Structure 1
Amino acid sequence: MNTWKALERIYAEGRAKAIGVSNFELAHLRRVFDETSVVPAVNVIKLHPGAPQHESRDFHTCHGIATWGWSALGRDENLLEDPVLRRLAEKHGQSPAQVVPRWHIQEGNIVSPNSATPARIKENIDIFDFELDAEDLAAIADPDTGEQTVHQLPEEFSW
């Protein structure tokens, strides 16, 4: 909590417009709420259709915390090979790499897929000329598997 309290001082002094957290689970957020006075503006969490983090996103929404999805394309999980996403990509004349960020946008998440390849950068931006309908979103909305391939919890990090 010392680091968060230092960030709160910076925020109170007007040297930061907002402060946020990364990889905070609900227990971590509750501790921030219990022990401090500033609500994080954002929580950056692993988030994509294969790891939709429903409980965290609901908590964020209830408390005015923006959700920013890292690993937005599920790179480690071969998400872009998912048959549902491939079918939806074909339906909309897009690639799976465009369907996933579109899902994020429509779900109200912050998304920033990255690439150094000009063609992929253009593809990442070109997601605003189609929308996923309710049926598409339902097809994507499989329950969480509960599996995480990357664990970067604050209490496990070696400072």
Structure 2
Amino acid sequence: PARDKYLDTWKALEKLYADGRVRAIGVSNFQPSHLRRVLDEGSVVLAVNQIELSPYLVQQELRAFHADHGIATEAWSPLAKGGDLLGEQAVADIATAHGRTPAQVVLRWHLQLGNVVIPKSVTPSRVAENFDVFGFTLTDAEVAALSALDRGLRTGPDPDTFDLA
């Protein structure tokens, strides 16, 4: 955002799309103001916006914007790098109630909110565990309890102030 070059890049991506060289185009870490500008000045609707998203950073306004415009929300750092989030009492209580791990509960929360979620792990047992999130459903109250953990806490840079220069 600081260098205001993202529209030029978006236009180049639209050309690749128009030429049939890609089937879909998307962005990462765009805020509503960035998305509005791309939608207003571009000709292709974004397929996806990959954003930092976890129960510690729910991003309700941005997810609502995505939903209103048919943009898929993909979560990066969906477990908030583990640690504190997976140790939260609410997460632990829900995990115990379902006979699941805290990570499975958080991943299930993402899925029930409609987020695309691709957790990272290099440990084969954790990869299998992360995939095993379709055999249970969180209640509305459990989804709300996890969403109530929102602290606006980022593990990565703020897209409005991040600059590579």
The answer to whether the superposition gives a TM-score over 0.5 is yes
Q: CA RMSD in A?
A: 1.6
Whole-angstrom CA distance in 1 between matches of 2:153 and 2:84: 14
Q: 1:23 aligns with which of 4, 29, 40?
A: 29
C-alpha spacing 1:43/1:77, structure 2 compared with 1 (3 Å): farther
2:55–2:149 contact (8 Å) kept in structure 1 = no
Normalising by the residue count of structure 2, what TM-score does the alignment of the two structures yield?
0.90
Superposed counterparts of 1:3-152, under 5 Å: 3-75=9-81, 78-142=84-148, 144-151=150-157
Q: Which runs of 5+ in 2 are unaligned?
A: 1-6
C-alpha spacing 1:77/1:95, structure 2 compared with 1 (3 Å): closer
Whole-angstrom CA distance in 1 between matches of 2:87 and 2:123: 20
Normalising by the residue count of structure 1, what TM-score does the alignment of the two structures yield?
0.93
| Count of aligned pairs | 159
1:82 Cα deviation after fit: 0.9
How far does the alpha carbon of each residue in 1:42-78 deviate from its partner, in whole angstroms, 9 at most, with x for none?
Answer: 0000001111110000000000000000000111662
Name the SS of the counterpart of 1:28 in structure 2. helix
Name the SS of the counterpart of 2:50 in structure 1. strand
Percent identity at matched positions? 50
Q: Which runs of 5+ in 1 are unaligned?
A: none
